[in-house]
Amino acid sequence: MAQRQTMRLTLAEVIDIAQKQSPDALQAKNRFLGSYWQFRTFKAGFMPALSLSATLPRYSRSIDQVTQEDGTVKFIERQQSTASMGLSLTQNLAFTGGQVFMSSDLQRLDIIKNPSTTNYATNPYSIGLRQPLFKYNEFKWSRKIEPLSYQEAERKLIEDREQISLTAISMFFDLLSTQISMKMQMTNLANNDTLYKIAKGRFNIGTIAENDLLQLELQLLSAQSQVENMKLDLENKIFNLKSFLRLQNDIAVELITPTQTSGIRVEADKAIEQAQENRAASLAYKRRLLEAENNVLKAKATSHFSANLVALYGTTQSAPDFVGAYHNPSDLQQLTISLQVPILDWGLGRGRVKIAESNQTLEKSSVEQEMIDFKQAVYLKVMQFNIQQSQVRIAAKSDTVADKRYQVTKQRYMIGKIGITDLNIAQNEKDNARRGYFDVLQTFWRNFYEIRKLTLFDFVRGERIIIDPLELKAVD
């Protein structure tokens, strides 16, 4: 039979796999792709757009009312076919909010009768401008807001990955603690079995009471039950981690206990500085203030009078043949200024402005408070992390001392120097110290990666956490 493959994984390897192929990683990437294509769409809106339109053909047959030269009215039957084609090039103007355009059009009209006639009408070229006057310039504000939104999405992707790291750490230590507990239970089972056998011999020669023997037998049965329960719990934790990492079911997983990253001390001022420079929230604060200001200006612009200017210059011609339709074209000129002046709106426009100004004030207050809370959260997390390093050393020492004490107590019990109660106390203290060490170790690594998520800065390498440029190119 084929031997089952075993993967021995460190904490760093589990985090790396989770960031690349976990379901959470795929969701984070797809959320970023939505923002990426939204930004691409925004940029495309400021590029020249070329379009072709055509009607090939349009046929109609109808009976129309026609007034004769003498004033009489008669109904005549008409049959005609029209075809048209146009090519246009447009360019949005961000600084004015207007649009310039160029176009070229060709139309053909066929009057179907006996005899039939054909006529062509052309606009060889037209150059024009559509320009709102005294209106809200959407292009101007989108050029301020959309780049911030995209940069915010980039940083949010990095934060999502650091959150995936935190999830991976939780699942890693859940399984690691269960594996360690399983080894502890197996060791306790072997020790209880040995002690029970020794106790039966000592009971037979009358050196211990039956109560002590029964207590050891109960501890042996309890250890056997705990091992069985631990096996089921271990399989469940293995399944959860393999599912999160999207590993094959036929692969066995064994985790390697991580060591403490010694010598890392994070300065609170530097952490706050990096958080303000790197976090998505910092950009979100700027974006929200810009959006609030934008809404105020938009409300003011829509409550006042506005005007639109349309200017066009080009050429036009008509002829019964195609070549003649492009021969000696005449000038085509057009200038239109339209006005819209609110006279009576019962305070509707003023109300919209006041609502927007109130929302802007509220947004400023919220952003200021969130910035204070954000700095405080970073500061507290740094303090927790710096304290946690000494906690890991203390827990490691406690684990070593508790294990040594249990071994000494066990030997003393076996030679009859102490009772079963002292042995049980020593064993519980040993187990609790071992669990406490792994709990503190997990807290240490969680705090470390929470600081990474809050600051988007790697304090081990001393560099900012960024997205791989090759990965961004892969979405093009």
In the block, residue with structure tokens 């339709």: 325
Nearest to 303 by CA among 350, 240, 367: 350
Going by pLDDT thresholds of 50, 70 and 90, the confidence category of residue 187 is confident
pTM of the model: 0.80
Is the pLDDT at 475 greater than 60? The verdict is no
How many independent structural domains does the chain possess? 1
Q: Is residue 80 part of a domain?
A: no
In a domain, 152, yes or no: yes
Dist. CA 63–CA 75, nearest whole Å: 6
User: Residues of the chain with pLDDT > 70: what percent?
Assistant: 96
Give the pLDDT mean for 103-119.
86
3-state class (DSSP) for residue 340: strand
Domain that holds residue 190: 6-46+141-286+361-473
Q: Is 316 part of any domain?
A: no
Q: How far apart are CA 227 and CA 324, in angstroms?
A: 98
In the block, residue with structure tokens 């062509």: 120
| pLDDT (0 to 100) of residue 311 | 92
Q: What is the mean pLDDT of residues 336-365?
A: 85
Cβ-in-10-Å burial (0-12, 13-18, 19+) of 22 comes to buried
Report the alpha-carbon distance of residue 256 to residue 165 in Å, rounded: 17
Which residue type sits at 347? G
Q: What is the pLDDT of residue 290?
A: 93
> Higher confidence at residue 172 or residue 197?
172
Q: Please name which of 335, 344, 343 lies closest in space to residue 314, comparing C-alpha atoms.
A: 335
- Position 186 confidence tier, pLDDT thresholds 50, 70, 90: confident
Residue 401's identity, in one-letter code, is V
Instruction: Quote the pLDDT of residue 474.
Output: 56
Q: Is 408 helix (H, G, I), strand (E, B) or coil?
A: helix
pLDDT mean over 173-178: 91
Higher pLDDT, 9 or 115: 9
Q: How far apart (Å, rounded) are the C-alpha atoms in residues 466 and 463?
A: 9
Query: Tokens for 38?
Result: 């939204």
Could you please report the per-residue DSSP string of 84-106? EEEEEEEEE-TTTS-EEEEEEEE
pLDDT at 472 over 80: no
**Residue 215 belongs to some domain of the structure:** yes
Task: Give the pLDDT confidence score for residue 113 in this predicted structure.
Answer: 78
Lowest mean pLDDT of 8-17, 175-184, 260-269, name the range.
Answer: 260-269
Q: Is 38 a domain residue?
A: yes
Least confident of 210-214, 413-417, 456-460: 413-417
The average pLDDT across 424-452 equals 89
Looking at residue 332, what is its pLDDT? 84
Does 2 have pLDDT greater than 60?
no
pLDDT > 70? residue 4: no
Residue 340: predicted pLDDT: 78
Q: Which residue has the higher pLDDT, 467 or 296?
A: 296
* Distance of alpha carbon 96 from alpha carbon 352, whole angstroms: 24
Q: How many CA atoms lie within 13 A of 35 on its CB side?
A: 19
Say what the pLDDT of residue 212 is. 79
User: Are 327 and 155 in contact, with CB atoms under 8 Å apart?
Assistant: no
Nearest in space to 442 (alpha carbons), one of 159, 230, 166, 163: 166
Predicted pLDDT at 471:
64
**CATH code of the domain covering residue 162:** 1.20.1600.10
Q: What is the pLDDT of residues 278-306, one digit of tens each?
A: 989 889 999 999 999 999 988 888 888 88
Domain assignment present for 134: no
Residue 75 lies in a domain: no
User: What confidence score (pLDDT) does residue 469 get?
Assistant: 61
149 Cβ contact partners less than 8 Å away, ≥ 6 residues apart: 35, 38, 39, 287
Is 303 among the domain residues? no
Weakest-pLDDT range from 35-44, 82-91, 172-181, 324-333: 324-333
Strand segments (E) across 113-259: 117-133, 252-255
Neighbours of 407 (CB within 10 A): 12
Spell out a b/e string for 180-202, using b for 16 or more CB atoms within 10 Å of the CB, else e: bbbebbeebbebbeebbeebeeb
Instruction: State how far the Cα of 450 lies from the Cα of 465, in Å rounded to an integer.
Output: 13
Compare 116 and 123 and report the one with higher pLDDT. 123
